[in-house]
A and B are shown apart, each in its own frame.
Chain A
Amino acid sequence: MTGKPRRAAAGTRGQGEGAATTGKPRRVTVTSPRTAAARRPRHPLTREIDEQTRLGEVYMGSLVRTQFRLALFVCTLLACVVGGLPLLFLLAPELREAELFGLPLPWVVLAGLIYPALVGGAWLYVRQAERNERDFADLVERR
């Protein structure tokens, strides 16, 4: 139920963007019959996905892989920072006693700087994950 109106809304937005770049209010269809045939395939990609054809599976697999690679990248980065800090304190004991802004360095990092870093990482992730989804939606619907 909810899919259809949203899809229609996405289509309208696409037209709006087209209008902004060309300066025309509406998209004009090119009238060659061959082009029209190419623009409207008998099997839209969403149907390939619905019917679980091999093509549909390939597209779904690519979406899951892209998102998983992004997630894994963020997790690896996080593991390096979070797992690396105790290791750093273990291997370089002088860092435990170092001071920054008159406060112990471990405290400045663990009770302060790490929080904005986490929020920044999360923000970048959300941006990229939404971009991946938009790309996938464009790929599947623009056929």
Chain B
Amino acid sequence: MSQIAAVVLVMLATVLIGAFGIRVSRTTSDFYVASRTVSPLWNASAIGGEYLSAASFLGIAGLILTFGADMLWLPVGWTGGYLVLLVLVSAPLRRSGAYTLPDFAEARLESMAVRRLSSVLVVLIGWLYLMPQFQSAGLVFRTITGAPPWTGSLLVAVVVATNVLSGGMRSITFVQAFQYWLKLTALAVPLAFMLVAWWSDGTPGLAPGDEWALPLHGREHPVYETYSLILATFLGTMGLPHVLVRFYTNPDGRAARRTTLVVLTLLGAFYLMPAVYGYLGHVYGMPESDTVVIALPGRLVGGPVGEFLTALVTAGAFAAFLSTSSGLTVSVAGVIAQDILRGGVRAFRVATVLAVLVPFALAGVARSLPVATVVGLAFAVAASSFCPLLVLGIWWRRLTTAGAMAGLLAGGGLACAAVVITITGGPHTGWAGSLLAEPAAWTVPVSFTVMVVVSLLTPSRVPRGVARTMVRLHTPETLNVDRGDWRPRFM
């Protein structure tokens, strides 16, 4: 009962804080990016809140419990991805003035074709990321109420759509920042109680000869899969649509870097915890599932305190569903509204409904995989498409329109194909299964190679304004230089 109360409370808080933002968002530009009036700590908290999805809150602990030490790389990669993003992308991306990935593609390559292809990829990645959020909302809702899974998915979908429709980005920023601290508390407080309980049980450890805790163990091709996972997570972070849109709310490139540093710290603090949940789950013999985080506090700490702690983690889980889904919905809806519909606030509203409805439908029909596995696939697609586009676009003058198109099509296309085969037809076994389940190790090199080779073969198609764009991307804002007149279209 207390769990249901906790869920209702989180939903109400989300809607109320969101409604508070309505007063501020008046024009289209406000609606999208909060007029860039967000301070660095708020911004970093919001990025953290938006980023820590059900995959981080529930999924990592579940996978660690199931597969053991190799899954420790998942949170490491999801944090370390921000270091790669920081050094290669953050400041130049902010200086480009783009607020979505398609904007960046257009600004850098001066091509509407590349822009449209990027839009399609943003929508695909967004939907692939949203689908497991809705699925695990259904799973958790079933665990606490016994209701069929679609009811939980529907509940989250409706709250997200309402929230995005009513407040836009401004309200999302407030909601997200609140969600980060809620999620941190919801995982940390029960953990403290559980560690005390574990201590008073005489600190039970692993049974002698237990191979679960050993790295490179438990899966079919552990070395390949570990490296592929590392590549996907470290390089995929920069290509996530809902992360990049946040960089626009920094006042300048320098602030974008500092915000990223704060994000890295906040995420590092959070990701210390799921591994402990997985470890305790194994020591206490919990069943291997995504719901271990929800079940563990009640198992270790009994009585009314245990019930309160269970309610708290449930609240955190719903915060995770709502925050990530809201952020993704804003990004996907923005791209659909601007590049597929004709633009304007009305198109944004139609697009929001579309952005939520499709993954909600997919969540009902698709095979149910662990949430962190599917989110990992979204990272692989991002790493094989947007990572090369951003890295080469920012640092390599000779990137051409044709090269970018070919690389996006090859890398993004192959990764998407692997994802579809894994989700619809899987689980496959043997080498084919491993290559399809963790595609990044081959799709990322393919994408980079195709982009570079095709660019070198088509030197006449280097964008004309590349010199000016480089000035814009790399010179500090304090210098008074001509940065060109490209501006993102606020519809």
- Is there contact, CB below 8 Å, between A2 and B477? yes
- Closest residue of B by beta carbon distance from A78: B83
| Most chain A beta-carbon contacts within 10 A, residue among B230, B264, B271 | B264
The answer to the question of B261 belonging to the interface, with a C-beta cut-off of 8 Å to chain A, is yes
Query: Known: A75-B84, A78-B80. Contact between A107 and B275, CB under 8 A?
Result: yes
- In-complex Cβ contact of A118 among B79, B230, B258, B480 (8 A): B79
- Is there contact, CB below 8 Å, between B216 and A96? yes
- Is there contact, CB below 8 Å, between B477 and A3? yes
**Number of residues of chain A lying within 8 A (CB) of chain B:** 53
Interface residues of A in 68-101 (CB under 8 A from B): 68, 70-71, 74-75, 78, 82-83, 86, 89-90, 96-97
- Closest residue of A by beta carbon distance from B80: A118
- Closest residue of B by beta carbon distance from A116: B268
- Is there contact, CB below 8 Å, between B482 and A106? no
The answer to the question of B215 belonging to the interface, with a C-beta cut-off of 8 Å to chain A, is yes
- In-complex Cβ contact of A122 among B260, B477, B482 (8 A): B260
Which of B27-35, B86-94, B312-320, B342-350 lies at the interface with chain A? B86-94
- Is there contact, CB below 8 Å, between A71 and B87? yes
Query: Known: A3-B477, A7-B478, A118-B80. Contact between A86 and B216, CB under 8 A?
Result: yes
Cα A46 to Cα B476 in complex, Å, equals: 12
Query: Known: A75-B84, A130-B254. Contact between A123 and B477, CB under 8 A?
Result: no
Query: Known: A104-B69, A106-B215. Contact between A111 and B272, CB under 8 A?
Result: yes
- 1/0 per residue A8-48: CB within 8 Å of B? 00100000000000000000000000000000000000100
The answer to the question of B481 belonging to the interface, with a C-beta cut-off of 8 Å to chain A, is yes
- In-complex Cβ contact of A82 among B80, B217, B474 (8 A): B80
Cα A27 to Cα B449 in complex, Å, equals: 55
- Is there contact, CB below 8 Å, between B87 and A111? no
Interface residues of B in 36-76 (CB under 8 A from A): 69, 72-73, 75-76
The answer to the question of B4 belonging to the interface, with a C-beta cut-off of 8 Å to chain A, is no
Query: Known: A136-B475, A136-B476. Contact between A82 and B470, CB under 8 A?
Result: no
The answer to the question of B467 belonging to the interface, with a C-beta cut-off of 8 Å to chain A, is yes
Interface residues of A in 91-143 (CB under 8 A from B): 96-97, 102, 104, 106-107, 110-112, 114-116, 118-119, 121-123, 125-126, 129-130, 133-134, 136-137, 140-141
- Is there contact, CB below 8 Å, between A119 and B264? yes
CB distance from B29 to the nearest CB of A (A): 16
B residues within 8 A CB of A136? 475-476, 479
A residues within 8 A CB of B91? 129
- In-complex Cβ contact of A86 among B82, B223, B258 (8 A): B223
- Is there contact, CB below 8 Å, between B213 and A104? yes
CB distance from B35 to the nearest CB of A (A): 15
Cα A121 to Cα B84 in complex, Å, equals: 11
The answer to the question of B276 belonging to the interface, with a C-beta cut-off of 8 Å to chain A, is yes
CB distance from A31 to the nearest CB of B (A): 27
B residues within 8 A CB of A75? 84, 87-88
- Is there contact, CB below 8 Å, between B479 and A7? yes
- Closest residue of B by beta carbon distance from A6: B478
The answer to the question of B471 belonging to the interface, with a C-beta cut-off of 8 Å to chain A, is yes
CB distance from B366 to the nearest CB of A (A): 31
Listed from nearest, the 5 A-B pairs whose CB atoms lie closest are A111-B275, A115-B268, A3-B480, A110-B72, A71-B87
Q: 20 pairs across A/B with beta carbons < 8 Å? A: A6-B480, A7-B479, A46-B481, A60-B470, A82-B230, A86-B215, A89-B215, A102-B205, A104-B214, A106-B215, A111-B72, A115-B268, A115-B271, A119-B261, A119-B268, A122-B261, A123-B261, A125-B83, A126-B86, A126-B257
Q: A4-B480, A83-B227, A111-B275 are in contact. List 13 more A-B contacts (CB 8 A).
A: A3-B477, A67-B474, A75-B88, A82-B234, A86-B215, A107-B69, A110-B69, A115-B76, A115-B268, A126-B258, A130-B257, A136-B475, A136-B479
